Amino acid sequence: MKTNWGGRPEGRGDDELGFRTMADLMPQMVWSTRPDGFHDYFNRRWYDFTGVPDGSTDGEGWNGIFHPDDQPVAWERWRRSLETGEIYQIEYRLRRRDGVWRWVLGRALPARGEGGRILRWFGTCTDIDDLKRAELALHDSEARFRSLVEATSAVVWRCPPDGRLGRDQEAWGAFTGQTPDEFEGDGWIGAIHPDDRARTLAAWREAVAAGRLYHVEHRLRRADGTHLPMLVRATPIRAADGRVVEWIGVHTDVSDLKRAEAALRDLADGLETKVNERTGELVRTRIALEQANRGLEATVAARTEALRTANEEIKRFAYIVSHDLRAPLVNIMGFTAELEMARHTVEDFYARAVAAAPELAGGEMAALVETDFEEAIGFIRTSTAKMDRLINAILTLSRTERRVLQPEPLDMAELLEPLRRSLAHQLGQRDAVIEIGPLPTIVADRLAVEQVFANVVENAVKYLRDDRPGRVAVTATDAGDDIDFAISDNGRGIDPRDFGRIFELFRRAGVQDRPGEGIGLAYVQLLVRKLGGRIAVASEPGAGTTFTITLPKRFDGEGTR
């Protein structure tokens, strides 16, 4: 039977029927054309994929269901193949029956007869969309990695599993000035400071042999010949089967950090010297006072003046120390913020890398990105925050000593009422009340008195027990020229052995389950003495505590006690 491959068959031969049966069974889209390129056959997979009616893509209709941006190229390439008899191959986007554009690989070969004459063209379209998108994702990931490398001030490098540096290391060459011929293999060690080379190379070879994280510090020669301190980290990138397929490393310039460390050491040495000097001065002053203590009024007055001068020196010293400590602390906080920013950058890059290549997930890099960075930065922030609070406390005490008190009449009941209102929320949480009894009017410095009572009352509320309603009472008793103010609570109480230490700076007593730095009562005692008064404590553990603050009825601006 004659087989007519041009247009509709008049009668199908066994060859044509076998071809079409085989083509319909293939997972690919199969098509064929006449020698002039007229499309006259598409298999069942073509129609199932595109959803177009049978025969609608015959002739030149096939190009209409390809992406408009790809049609001109497809036409041009198809015409060239028809003219030259070359294999037709192209990647273009084909509209699926649901309207989604899918990347396909189109290929066609000519079937030739006697004398090389083309009898027909046979072609296929293979769905490669998943592969294409994976390639694009990989390309984007590599582009982002290159952008990160170009944007960062650190020197980023990569090398194969054997640890020998390849020639494609633009960042390394730009920083060190080495050429690829110089740094290739182990040649990079020539840019390391001579004193650091042996241990650097030994640590690197050991990390490569063990396939573990590489971490070292050394001095790296910049292109201008200057050696800079560097923090170096490199991590192995592993395949799904655990094999190391690549190393990625980074050199970070830690010059600023080294300078900050040196400044801290210098500051510590300077502080020690100053403390020794002031301690020596105090010792010499005490000895002089003991030798001169012969009861003469003039000598006592002179030595008292000397002590006052020494006390002013200590106040100034505390103020200077606090300010000297703050400068390096600010630097540390700044460097911590930079590390935080770098952590987010690394996390973003790692997340994108894992998204593009899930086999890279896990291992030491995951621990570094997901845990180690955060824990280290959190520890630094906690420590610097505590140091900042302590410095602020020293500054507060120093400023309090220098502040000139301004006596004025104070209605004590009126002064304490805002304090009770400010603690309303805490009182509600603890089912507690503050009772303010009849209180007199005294003459004293308003700010100092407010701070004294606020500290003591807030402490009383803070240390109330959780197993019973809380009560804090403020009462007053006339004591001649003075007024004894009693602040009593039914809280947890204080061990009598701790009565002395609770007034010491940075010292706390009892269970440490409430926030605080051990500053409040030391500050209160300083203010009370400055107001010409005194403070005492009485307590029974489990029953409650009473602080008695004795203040003169009329403060004349000079502390008398």
* pLDDT interval class at 264 (50, 70, 90): confident
Residue that wins the pLDDT comparison between 369 and 518: 369
- Please, are residues 548 and 492 in contact by the beta-carbon 8 Å criterion? no
Residue that wins the pLDDT comparison between 365 and 83: 83
Q: What secondary structure letter does DSSP report for 255? A: H
Q: What secondary structure letter does DSSP report for 489? A: E
- Whether residue 303 has pLDDT greater than 70: no
Query: Mean pLDDT across the stretch 439-459?
Result: 91
pLDDT of residue 499: 76
Smallest CA-to-CA distance from 252 within 269, 271, 229 is with 229
pLDDT of residue 161: 92
Determine the Cα–Cα distance for residues 391 and 326; give it in Å rounded to an integer: 7
Query: 77: which residues sit within 8 A by CB, 6+ positions away?
Result: 88, 89, 90
| Residue extent(s) of CATH 3.30.450.20 domains in the chain | 14-127, 134-253
* pLDDT interval class at 216 (50, 70, 90): very high
- Indicate the CATH number for domain 407-552: 3.30.565.10
| Residue extent(s) of CATH 3.30.565.10 domains in the chain | 407-552
Helix (H/G/I), strand (E/B), else coil: 155: strand
| Distances in whole angstroms, Cα of residue 292 to Cα of each of 230, 284, 305, 342 | 60, 12, 13, 64
How many residues belong to the chain? 561
Tokens of 136: 């694009």
Instruction: List helix spans (H) across 249-296.
Output: 255-292
Cα Rg for the chain, rounded, in angstroms?
42
pLDDT of residue 147: 59
Residue that wins the pLDDT comparison between 135 and 306: 135
- Please, are residues 451 and 399 in contact by the beta-carbon 8 Å criterion? no
Q: Quick one: what percent of the chain has pLDDT higher than 70?
A: 73
pLDDT of residue 222: 93
230 - beta bridge partners?
218, 253
Which residue has tokens 């105090």? Answer: 282
pLDDT of residue 7: 39
- Please, are residues 220 and 230 in contact by the beta-carbon 8 Å criterion? yes
Q: Which CATH superfamily is domain 134-253 in?
A: PAS domain (3.30.450.20)
494-517 pLDDT, tens per residue?
A: 888 877 777 776 555 555 655 555
14-32 pLDDT, tens per residue?
A: 667 778 888 887 888 999 9
pLDDT of residue 549: 93
Residue that wins the pLDDT comparison between 238 and 335: 238
Smallest CA-to-CA distance from 477 within 440, 436, 531, 448 is with 440
Q: Output the CA angle 399-403-405, nearest 5 degrees.
A: 145
- Whether residue 459 has pLDDT greater than 80: yes
Determine the Cα–Cα distance for residues 150 and 71; give it in Å rounded to an integer: 37
65-111 pLDDT, tens per residue?
A: 899 999 999 999 999 999 999 999 999 999 999 999 999 999 999 99
pLDDT of residue 307: 41
Longest Cα separation, the chain: 145
Query: 260: which residues sit within 8 A by CB, 6+ positions away?
Result: 328, 331, 332, 335
Which residue has tokens 């609608």? Answer: 56
- Indicate the CATH number for domain 14-127: 3.30.450.20
Determine the Cα–Cα distance for residues 556 and 551; give it in Å rounded to an integer: 12
Determine the Cα–Cα distance for residues 166 and 181; give it in Å rounded to an integer: 10
pLDDT of residue 292: 74
Single pTM value for the model: 0.37
* pLDDT interval class at 265 (50, 70, 90): confident
- Whether residue 476 has pLDDT greater than 60: yes
pLDDT of residue 26: 83
Average pLDDT, the chain: 80
* pLDDT interval class at 467 (50, 70, 90): confident
Determine the Cα–Cα distance for residues 289 and 272; give it in Å rounded to an integer: 25
pLDDT of residue 351: 74
Helix (H/G/I), strand (E/B), else coil: 429: helix
